[in-house]
Structure 1
């Protein structure tokens, strides 16, 4: 992982701690912050569902 990727990951983790982390509407697992097309989204790593904040 390069420095830029690591910085993005740390920022996503920091933002997740600062906000309420939603549960996936499909499977009820806790969603994780992710980035898609330059936008931040919530993504469920269990079922793959995504949602915008």
Structure 2
């Protein structure tokens, strides 16, 4: 049986913001979801905090 030496890459987090009525929510490809915010800038800040950017 052959042994495979494959590097396991960490899951890349890609965040987006989604409008839901008067609110905006940050979401990630990993399944994470931030709280509903009235300000888009706060939703973006939540997303940056999740990915470790900023």
Q: TM-score, normalised by structure 1?
A: 0.31
More helix by share: 1
Compare CA radii of gyration and give the structure with the larger one: 2
